[in-house]
Amino acid sequence: MISTAFILSSLTAIGVVAALGPAAVNLRTAANYTILAETGITNVPTSAITGAMAVCPISAAAITGFSPLMLDPSGQFSTSSQVTGHIFACDYASPTPSILTIAIADMGTAFTDAITRTPPNFINLGAGNIGGRILTPGLYSWTTGVTINSSITLLGGAADTWIFQVNGTLTIANGVQMILVGGARAVNIVWATAGAVTAGTNSHLEGVFLGKTGITLKTGATANSRLLAQTLVALQQVTVTA
């Protein structure tokens, strides 16, 4: 395997300055949320979330494990000691429902955009097992699920982009780390997953996760991420920062 240091020195030597990878995925108003879900957000305390959380079209009753939710006098949002930011639901006072309806639609649009991009630079890399790999900018596509059993490195510059199309489940093993090198930024990394996303205990995630189905982070997991799910987001004593 080519070393990370060698690749970095080679990029510098040839003066690579143009952004690499596919056009960025536009999250539109869904980018305003660290966690956004359609059927609920569950939590095994204590977690630490930085940024806004929201559920829609379901009510605030679908947000569990963050009690007490303290409703603001405006009725438009609530707060929790586990969340540094506001919490929204579609049964809160106007204009919250209309804002969230747009955000949910934007999330779906972003998922469709990401999962249907062509042509991929890499098809079925590692037959779905990408543990231990150095991943350079590009469009990656798998026709089945993806498993990450050991830490991976995303190598690229601050403007470079990655889109990972997973037409199955995405399973990150316990303790696995996603490591950014060379200035790579989580905001430019998109995981579009048709099946469930599961991050094991003490794992670390980087990037925007657009889930067609559920996203689960197990005990001790951390994420420099946005978790945007068309069903449920389930958390267990985790730290998530957008």
| pLDDT at residue 76 greater than cutoff 70 | yes
In a domain, 36, yes or no: yes
In a domain, 96, yes or no: yes
Tokens of 115: 């999962």
- How confident is residue 18, by pLDDT bands cut at 50, 70 and 90? confident
Q: How far is Cα 162 from Cα 139, in angstroms, rounded to an integer?
A: 6
In a domain, 56, yes or no: yes
- How confident is residue 8, by pLDDT bands cut at 50, 70 and 90? low
In a domain, 74, yes or no: yes
Residues 111-136 have a mean pLDDT of 98
Residues 228-241 have a mean pLDDT of 98
In a domain, 128, yes or no: yes
For 168, half-sphere exposure in the C-beta direction (CA atoms, 13 angstrom radius) is: 12
| pLDDT at residue 51 greater than cutoff 60 | yes
- C-beta separation of 181 from 193 below 8 A: no
Mean pLDDT (the chain) is 94
Q: Radius of gyration of the chain from Cα atoms?
A: 18
E-state strands within 157-229: 162-166, 170-172, 178-181, 189-193, 197-199, 204-211, 215-217, 222-229
pTM for the whole structure: 0.93
Residues 197-225 have a mean pLDDT of 98
In a domain, 73, yes or no: yes
- Give the structural domain span for 202: 17-241
Residues 31-60 have a mean pLDDT of 98
Q: For residue 127, give the nearest of 114, 112, 111, 140 by alpha carbon.
A: 140
Residues 52-73 have a mean pLDDT of 98
Count of the separate structural domains present in the chain: 1
In a domain, 28, yes or no: yes
pLDDT tens-place string over residues 158-207: 999 999 999 999 999 999 999 999 999 999 999 999 999 999 999 999 99
> Which pLDDT belongs to residue 7?
52
> Which pLDDT belongs to residue 15?
47
In a domain, 7, yes or no: no
> Which pLDDT belongs to residue 13?
46
